Structure 1
Amino acid sequence: MRLASVHVVSHAQLPRDARTRHAQASLGQIHRLATITTRRPQVAARSVATPMQAESPARVLQQSQHGPMAATGYQRVSARLLGIANQLRDLGVDSDLKVPALVIAGDQSSGKSSVVEAIAGVPLPRSDGTCTRCPTEVRMRTHGAPGEGGSAVWQCRIKVVRNFNSTGKPLAPGEAHEKLFCTVTDKAHITACISAAQAVLLNPTVVGDSVAGGAERFVPLLSAAEPGGRAPEPSSAMRGLGDAAGYELQFTANKVVLEIVGAEADLTIIDLPGIIHSHPKDPSLIDVVKSLVKCYLAPAHHIIVMTLPAGMDAETQAILQFAREADPEGRRSIGIITKPDKIGPDERTEWGKLCNLVAGARAPTGVPAAAGGSRAAAAPNPHLQLGYYVVKNPGQEQLAAGISFEQARAAEERYFADHPLWASAMKANSLLSQRLGTNALRDGLSALLVDKIGEHMPEMRRSARAQLEKRQAELMRNLWRISDTLAQNALADIRGGSLDFYQELMRHYREYGERSIRSTPAFLVDTSLISALNSSDKGMHSSVDGGATATCELSLKELVSRIKDGPVVKSAQDAKAALEDERVKIQLRQLKFPEGYMTLVEVGQLRKRHLGRELPGFLPYSAMEALLSQFKGKHRDQATACLAAVEAEVHERARRVVGDQLGRYPRAKGAVGSALCSHVESLVQETAAELDKLLAREDGDVFTLNSYEYEVMRNEFLARLKRCYKQLKQPDDEAMPEVLDMLSELSRHGVHFADFDAAFMAQHTAVDDELYMAASCLAYFKVAFKRMQDAVPMAVRSTLLRRLGDPAALEAAVWRELLGAGAVAAEAVEDSYDSSAAKAAAAVAALQEDPQTASRRQHCVAMAQKLTEALQVLNTPAAQL
């Protein structure tokens, strides 16, 4: 299939007068803008435009084909819209606000650069193979400063824009920049300047701004060049780069910008490197160019202008495939057929297809269908709803002969007027002429750009407002003065931050308490486990375990019965085995029961090891001390863990506070962070020493003045232990009268028991000594637990946290870090020593702001100012269309 076989069917089959009316009614939004100022009747809304329907409004409104557009209502509206777009580009927010632009792309050697030259009226670099190695943005303005005789002075400012580093990664917002390279006032000099600007971008390491002279060293010698003569001589730095094949990069996403004043039209065209399909040295460059082109085609605000050489199969052109991917419906794609002379006069079939493609008509009668069959030739093209243009630019021989732009345009007009086939086609379809030639293309592209700008105007306003709010919010997060930051954050800490910190510390204190609970003693008596603490002591409600541990007694038989396929407990031996079961251990942890325990047998063995010269019936006190020591010392591990957790929380809080308050000042952040860290560590050491004293007192002595509570609890534990040992069952209601009668009988014989329990406790057992020792141990640790539960957190709070909040101590620590310990010590002992000057100098040095933060804020300030101005532009009456 040849290129011309891809075409669009339109209204060309209508009678001529009907076609004229149809074309005039299809102007759509642009024509509607013209009627606003000319007071013409409003036209019908535009449907999907065919190529002939999308004709240039300049043509339909019978404006001049050559030179600037006439001063009509359309011209005034379009000039205002294009002026707004130009102002946004001048502000540097065109990318941020997605200002519409024309992106021209095509395969290598498709005539793309010639099209840009013809539209812009300036020569571009030419060479064998690829000559466009980076995006070239051409910003054309018709207005200019008045020159002699009132004419506009032609001028081109060439800029280099760096948005990517040498590896192709995007630069940070503050690092990206657009810099003036040179200003050209002679068209004959522009090619050399563009080549030099490209070289600057393709050699980022060699040409970097850090090198003396920067990019300016590569500007051609314009001052020595003759006006209208040959190209200026390259600078010595440019000559030193050598041939382009040896450049550091072969392609770059950074771009060269040409700002042309005094152009033939108000347009912005982005010329992309030609798509390559092979490279002799580095095949990876194929994908580099492919990615670059696709990146520019993707944005919805870009109008895709693709160059397609005549006489070639369009499906073999990669640009057509890329355009379909980016614009599946073809609503923002337009085709430019280049090199129409490649189809010879005798190739009437191919010429007929090309004519139909541009006119949007079915194949004329007598012209064979395309290779794909008549259906393929007549079917509407699913792409390029904006249609096609045909241009005829000078060939290599004409360029070598020095043909001027005026001569090239005149030759192009003669080509279409004198070519028998084109002349015949234009005679048969008068609207076809509006799709032929560079002047028609320039007018058509201007109309499309105006249409797109008007369509995107509401979205640009919304985007400008949203981005301005975003920049202003970022500036508020990076206030200018440190005092403002500190004041605001201090208030925030009072309202919420300090409460969060306090709640985190309370969590660590509770964890310390829970670990301490599990380090208290417990005794296994038969199949019951008896601990020193009940549910209330553990901070648990009895509903958690159904009241089973409300009195610090746990029946292992009942516990394992709740475990599916759990161990069987019928004897004391079974109970010991069950306590080694992981499932039982999990249940004990949930109930906050101690991890370790002793049996009465083990207590008896300990008592016997301490027997001495005591008379029968007396317990050796050393045995009691030894039993207590079995469970002492465990508070130390729990207290150390508590202090470590609080220390980590304090360090994290200090790091966060220093980062929040001083993040923009690296030196101050480092100094204050180091000082605060050292200060915290010294306080932690003092707190650890305080805890050592506290724990040494607790572990090194057995003492309590709380004798009443101790005795009450010892008796309660003794009763519970004895009942478990004897496996006593309380008399039921039926047996209770008999029990009371027996107690009364004993009373008549002088033996008085207040109740059944009193009589039971008087009963002698073989392990009375062991039971008494166990009961005493449980009672003592219950008393000790209550005093140690609060003592450790209070020591941490008083020695570490309260002193950490002392402003004077903290300030002294900071000055020690900034000035050195010697200066602080001298100030403390010498009344005459004045450190204010040293402190002021140290503070100034410390509060040097982070360059990246400062750069980011400057970028935000600049962008906020630009966006504010952009909103003013977008809200002017000229933009309210």
Structure 2
Amino acid sequence: MIEKGTHNIWLRIMRGEAHQLELGYYVVKNPTKVQRAENIKSEEARLIENEFFEQEEPWNSFYLRERIGVKNLQNKLSELLIEAIKRGLPDIRKNVEDKLNKTFQDLGKLPIQLSDSPRIELFRMVKNCSKIIKEKTTCSNDQTELWKLLNDQFAQFKEEFCALRPVFLIRTSFIGRPRDETFDILEDFIENRKNNASTDRLQQITEVQVTEIIRNSCRRLLTGSIPDLIPYSAARTMIQENQVKWEKPAMNCLNAVYEIMIKSVCETIETTFSRFPGLVGRMEYKVRTWLEECKKQTIDQINFMYKMERTTYPFTLDKHRMTVIKKEYLNSLHRTVRNENRNPTETLEVMALVMAYLKISIKRYTDVVSIGFRKGSGYPRVP
């Protein structure tokens, strides 16, 4: 009820000139006490309201007609409700989907009713177990967790392996002070150099040490005959001394992969045959036996590759690439010593040869070992 003489105040509020609200105001006329006591119907109340706003001043001349009357207020409230529902629909849908997914997961955990035939039931469970393992090992149905773990191990293997590489030091001077300039195949080989940028813990071979190795080779009269790679025996000695360390990282990776596979497969078996503890033990024994055989096959392959690298003369079929890489390293070494007003020596030839060969052979060895884990021995593959 608006008292007489106060219309101007309410008109200012309606026009948004006072007590402003984001959604503004609406003015309505409700039934009187007498009308409510007589149980006036809604339709009749609206007719009385319309007549009031059309005849009474100042409402009959108020320009914001859409903000007058219960009907307009109802329409606006309906619009606001619809907008609120639209804003909330994504959350409502997500909540419903989450509850549905949880319900499906809970239903999936319920044991399937056993059939009357033990043979058929056992076949069904074995088939289901094999299917789950295959999905994990082939990344089917978004089953990527297993391969994430395996790829982490392969990456760690490469990092550990590359940490065995030697770096060569050439004595130079800077502002009159001696210092060692480092030559490292890391810049041309390793993928993630940020994690391996420090060379402090690597084997460091100085120019003086290489010269001594060449002298020892000459004393033993071990000379080679590979064109452009003389003195070959000194380079071979340095290469083979580095290759001695190659077996351990591969075996570490293999053991880690083996444990990951054992855990993954056994978890699947325990889930599938959870109602039959005795059967779980027998199935796990079979799987462990099979994976142990896979591990032995992989060890044989690693040993074969390792022995081939160790017992044969340093060798590569890609002689052109070997020559190009060696030349690049040699040019870089020559520039360094010439900047020191020194003449290049055969020591630099040996350094360049060893760096070029290790760059090729390390890449070859890590690739072959990684492929062996994936395919050569059945890792990972469903039994």
Specify the TM-score bucket, using the shorter chain as the normaliser. Answer: 0.5 to 0.7
* TM-superposed deviation, 1:489: 8.8
Q: Which residue of 1 aligns with 2:181?
A: 528
Residue 505 of structure 1 is matched in structure 2 by 150
Q: Distance in 1 between matches of 2:377 and 2:275?
A: 29
Aligned pair 1:801/2:378, yes or no? Answer: yes
* Alignment pair present for 1:477 and 2:110: yes
> Residues 614 and 660 (structure 1 numbering): CA distance in 2 closer, same or farther, change over 3 Å?
closer
CA drift at 1:784? 0.8
The TM-score, its normalising length taken from structure 1, stands at 0.27
Q: Does 1:781 align with 2:358?
A: yes
Q: Tell me how large the CA RMSD over aligned residues is.
A: 3.2
| Equivalent residue, structure 1, for 2:50 | none
Change (3 A) 1:530 1:488: same
**1: distance between equivalents of 2:108 and 2:302?**
47
Out of 685, 688, 691, which is 2:299 matched to?
Answer: 688
Q: Residue 131 of structure 2 corresponds to which residue in structure 1?
A: 490
What letter corresponds to residue 500 of structure 1 in structure 2? Answer: E
2:218 alignment partner, SS class: coil
Aligned pairs for 1:635-674 (under 5 A) are 635-674=246-285
Contact kept in structure 2, 1:479 and 1:485, CA below 8 Å? no
Q: Which residue of 2 aligns with 1:64?
A: none
Classify the secondary structure of the residue corresponding to 2:286.
helix
SS at 2:189 equivalent: coil
3-state SS of paired residue (1:634): coil
2:267 is paired with a residue whose SS is helix
Deviation at 1:726, TM superposition (A): 4.0
How far residue 799 of structure 1 moved from its aligned partner, in angstroms, is 3.4
Displacement of 1:473 after TM fit? 3.3
Identical amino acids, percent of aligned pairs: 17
How far apart are the structure 2 equivalents of 1:682 and 1:662? 24
Change (3 A) 1:678 1:769: same
Gaps of 5+ in 1: 1-465, 545-588, 729-762, 811-881
1:515 is aligned with what amino acid? E
Q: How does 1:448-463 map to 2 (within 5 A)?
A: none
Q: Which residue of 2 aligns with 1:359?
A: none
Give CA-to-partner distance per residue, 1:791-817, whole Å, 9 cap, x none.
Answer: 001112223335742xxxx3xxxxxxx
Matched position secondary structure for 1:631: helix
Cα distance change of structure 1 residues 538 and 670 upon mapping to structure 2, 3 Å threshold:
same
The question of whether the paired residues in 2 share the 8 Å contact of 1:538 and 1:592 is answered with: no
| TM superposition shift of 1:602 | 0.6
Q: What CA distance in whole angstroms lies between the structure 2 residues aligned with 1:614 and 1:792?
A: 32
Q: Tell me the amino acid that sits aligned with residue 156 of structure 2.
A: E
Aligned residue for 1:630? 241
Q: Which residue number corresponds to residue 266 of structure 1?
A: none
| 1:524 aligned counterpart, secondary structure | strand
Q: Does 1:600 align with 2:207?
A: yes
8 Å CA contact 1:517–1:592 kept in 2: the answer is no
Counterpart among 682, 703, 709 of residue 321 in structure 2: 709
> Residues 310-337 of structure 1: CA distance to partner in whole angstroms, max 9, x if unpaired?
xxxxxxxxxxxxxxxxxxxxxxxxxxxx
Q: Which residue of 2 aligns with 1:207?
A: none
Q: Equivalent residue of 1:664, what SS?
A: coil
The CA deviation at 1:476 is 4.1
Distance 1:592 1:505, change over 3 A: farther
- Per the alignment, do residues 620 and 648 of structure 1 end up closer, same or farther by CA in structure 2, a change over 3 Å counting? same
d(CA) in 2 for partners of 1:708, 1:522: 24
Secondary structure of residue in 2 paired with 1:641: helix
1:102-113 alignment runs, 5 A limit: none
Corresponding residue of 2:39: none
Tell me the secondary structure at the aligned position of residue 376 of structure 2. Answer: helix
How far off its partner does 1:475 sit? Answer: 7.7
Q: Per the alignment, in what secondary structure is the counterpart of residue 202 of structure 2?
A: coil
Matches for 1:846-857 after TM superposition, within 5 Å? none
Structure 2 CA distance for partners of 1:539 and 1:681, relative to 1, 3 Å: same
Aligned residue for 1:611, secondary structure, equals helix
Q: Deviations over 1:489-520 (max 9, x none)?
A: 936743133x2212221111111111222222
Note closer, same or farther for the CA distance 1:485–1:686 as it changes in structure 2 (3 Å cut): closer
Conserved? CA contact 1:532–1:782, under 8 Å: yes
Contact kept, 8 Å, 1:721 with 1:771, in 2: the verdict is: yes
1:615-654 alpha-carbon deviations (Å, 9 max, x no partner): 9xx9543222112222112221111111111111111112
Q: Which amino acid aligns with 2:331?
A: A
In 2, the alpha carbon distance for the partners of 1:532 and 1:721 equals 13
CA distance in 2, matches of 1:614, 1:513: 33
Aligned equivalents of 1:722, 1:793: Cα separation in 2: 36
Report the alpha carbon displacement of residue 786 of structure 1 after superposing the two structures with TM. 2.1
Please state how far the C-alpha of 1:783 moved relative to its aligned partner.
1.1
* 1:495 partner amino acid: N
Which residue identity lines up with residue 286 of structure 2 in the other structure? A
Q: 1:597 to 1:484 in 2, by over 3 A?
A: same
Could you tell me how far apart the structure 2 residues matched to 1:690 and 1:489 are? 27
In the TM superposition, what whole-angstrom CA distance separates every residue of 1:293-348 from its partner, at most 9, and x where no partner exists? Answer: xxxxxxxxxxxxxxxxxxxxxxxxxxxxxxxxxxxxxxxxxxxxxxxxxxxxxxxx
Q: Distance in 2 between matches of 1:628 and 1:500?
A: 38
Instruction: Tell me which residue corresponds to 2:83.
Output: none
Is the 8 Å Cα contact of residues 129 and 268 (structure 2) preserved in structure 1?
no
Q: Aligned partners of 1:646, 1:802: CA distance in 2, in Å?
A: 9
CA distance in 1, matches of 2:273, 2:111: 11
Q: What does residue range 346-357 of structure 1 map to in structure 2 within 5 Å? A: none
Structure in which a larger fraction of residues adopt helix: 2
Give 1:124-273 correspondences, 5 Å limit. none
Q: What corresponds to 1:843 in structure 2? A: none
Q: Which residue of 1 aligns with 2:89?
A: none
How far 1:721 sits from its partner (Å)?
1.9
C-alpha contact 2:244 2:310 (8 A) present in aligned 1: yes
Residue 519, structure 1, aligned to residue 171, structure 2? no
Which TM-score applies when normalising by structure 2? 0.59
**Alpha-carbon deviations, 1:8-44, whole Å to 9, x = none?**
xxxxxxxxxxxxxxxxxxxxxxxxxxxxxxxxxxxxx
| Contact 1:514–1:592 (Cα < 8 Å) also in 2 | no
Taking a change above 3 Å as real, the CA distance of residues 533 and 681 of structure 1, as seen in their structure-2 partners, is same
Within 1, Cα distance between the matches of 2:211 and 2:129?
Answer: 67
Residue identity in the other structure for 2:302: L
Distance in 2, Cα, partners of 1:592 & 1:799: 34
2:270 and 2:368 map into 1 onto residues whose CA distance is: 33
**Cα deviation code 1:440-499 (max 9, x no counterpart):** xxxxxxxxxxxxxxxxxxxxxxxxxx9xx99x93684333346379649936743133x2
**Contact 1:680–1:804 at 8 Å: present in 2 too?**
no
**Which has more radius of gyration?**
1
The DSSP-based 3-state class of the residue aligned with 1:598 is: strand
Q: Secondary structure at the match of 1:801?
A: coil
SS in 2 for 1:479: coil
The offset of 1:775, in angstroms, is: 0.6
Distance in 2 separating the partners of 1:777 and 1:768 = 15
In 2, Cα distance between the equivalents of 1:644 and 1:592? 27
Q: Cα–Cα, structure 1 residues 538 and 803, in superposed 2: closer, same or farther, change >3 Å? A: closer
Q: Helix, strand or coil for the counterpart of 2:203? A: coil
Aligned residues: 254
Give the 3 Å change call, closer, same or farther, for CA 608–643 of structure 1 in structure 2. same
2:197 to 570, 583, 591: 591
Offset from partner CA, 1:238-289 (integer Å, 9 cap, x none)? xxxxxxxxxxxxxxxxxxxxxxxxxxxxxxxxxxxxxxxxxxxxxxxxxxxx
Deviations 1:173-202 (A, max 9, x none): xxxxxxxxxxxxxxxxxxxxxxxxxxxxxx
> How far apart, CA to CA, are the structure 2 residues paired with 1:784 and 1:489?
38
